[in-house]
């Protein structure tokens, strides 16, 4: 295992400076029975006190951006590097936060050695990975993204190493394996571009309904929420509602709203409206348990490195100054409260 520098419990200040005089996002969301979270980059958490202070003060759930993905946990077969993931869990415990585990089964960010595993051994290898990881954090992970992104945009199954080697039954197996390892964790299917009612979200709906009919221990559906400032997800309420009607929990798991750069006041206001639309859809859905932004400051956003010419996707700018999106979320969380299904 690599030596990993410990992550301080919080920043040098008790709360993030910009939020010292007003209720935090986590406090406002709690009025609605909603958890409000962020993805966290572990090197930045350890090295940037201001970033760390915001995470500690403003959010009551945290998700590792990369530290719990397979390539990070087991870069060499049979040799685990738990340090960064352990550090995030310890940080969360120190700050009264819950952890979303992300992600157990995916077609991306798998370790390089996996390509050398014979197809007839992949099922056993996957089971070992799922159960070793879940048992490591048993009792300390609130929600696991068990299976991630198995559909194409048209709702057809994505061609992955798992589907080719194991057939579609591996999906149910993954949830069963995770449940055996930690019966108390909430187990989610997670995907992108499924915020609205469309062919892809129809595929997800059919999958999870079928899993429920089989008695598979699936508890929720995560809608990632990687959105754009020029389009608000207008059927998101309806979409969340149909999963809710199945008795499943839901969550917005990776929200950000990118725009073509440079940002300007019109684009920033449009971005705020998209964030607000997504949050309101979650707030009116009784089983929507959490709303997580995929990073909260443009200083460390993944978007510019992935979408050429786009950026400014988060709720704070590069100097940790709140943007209109931050104010919009605060405003909606500041009013009233609803009774929620846990």
Q: Which residues are catalytic?
A: 149, 254
Helix H or strand E segment including 278 = helix 265-283
Task: Judge residue 321's burial from the number of C-beta atoms within 10 Å of its C-beta, 0-12 exposed, 13-18 middle, 19 or more buried.
Answer: exposed
SS3 60: coil
Which are the contacts of 57, defined by CB distance < 8 A and separation ≥ 6? Answer: 10, 11, 14, 15, 16, 19, 24, 26
Dist CA 140 CA 93 (whole Å) = 9
Question: Over the Cα atoms of the chain, what is R_g?
Answer: 19
Which own/partner contact pairs does 297-301 have at CB distance under 8 Å and 24+ positions apart?
297/51, 297/54, 299/51, 300/41, 300/44, 300/51, 301/256
Find out whether 253 and 37 touch, Cβ atoms under 8 Å. Answer: no
104 - beta bridge partners? Answer: none
């Amino acid at each position: 295992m690599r030596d990993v520098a410990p992550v301080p419990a919080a920043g040098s200040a008790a709360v993030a400076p910009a939020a010292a005089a007003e209720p935090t996002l986590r406090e406002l969301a709690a009025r609605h029975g909603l958890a409000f979270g962020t993805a966290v980059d572990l090197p930045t958490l350890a090295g940037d006190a201001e970033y760390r202070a915001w995470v500690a003060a403003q959010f009551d759930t945290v998700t590792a951006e990369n530290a719990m993905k397979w390539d990070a946990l087991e870069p060499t077969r049979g040799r685990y590097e738990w340090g960064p993931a352990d550090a995030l869990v310890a940080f969360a415990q120190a700050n009264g936060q819950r952890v979303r585990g992300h992600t157990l089964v995916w077609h991306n960010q798998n370790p390089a050695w996996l390509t050398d595993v014979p197809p007839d051994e992949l099922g056993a290898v996957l089971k070992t990975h799922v159960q070793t990881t879940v048992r490591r954090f048993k009792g300390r992970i609130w929600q696991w993204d068990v299976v991630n992104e198995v559909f194409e945009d048209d709702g057809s199954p994505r061609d992955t190493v798992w589907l080719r080697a194991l057939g579609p039954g591996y999906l149910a197996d993954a949830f069963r394996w995770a449940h055996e390892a930690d019966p108390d964790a909430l187990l989610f299917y997670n995907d992108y571009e499924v915020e609205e009612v469309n062919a892809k979200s129809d595929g997800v709906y059919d999958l999870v309904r079928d899993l429920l009919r089989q008695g598979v221990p699936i508890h929720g559906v995560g809608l990632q929420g990687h959105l754009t400032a020029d389009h608000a997800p207008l059927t998101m309420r309806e979409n969340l509602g149909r999963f809710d009607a199945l008795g499943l929990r839901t969550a917005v798991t990776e929200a950000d709203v990118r725009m073509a750069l440079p940002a300007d006041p019109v684009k920033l206001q449009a971005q705020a409206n998209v964030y607000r639309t997504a949050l309101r859809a979650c707030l009116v859905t009784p089983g929507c348990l959490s709303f997580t932004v995929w990073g909260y400051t443009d200083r460390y956003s993944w978007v510019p490195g992935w979408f050429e010419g786009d950026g400014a996707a988060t709720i704070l700018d590069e100097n940790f100054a709140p943007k209109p999106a931050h104010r919009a979320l605060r405003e909606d969380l500041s009013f009233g409260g609803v009774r929620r299904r846990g």
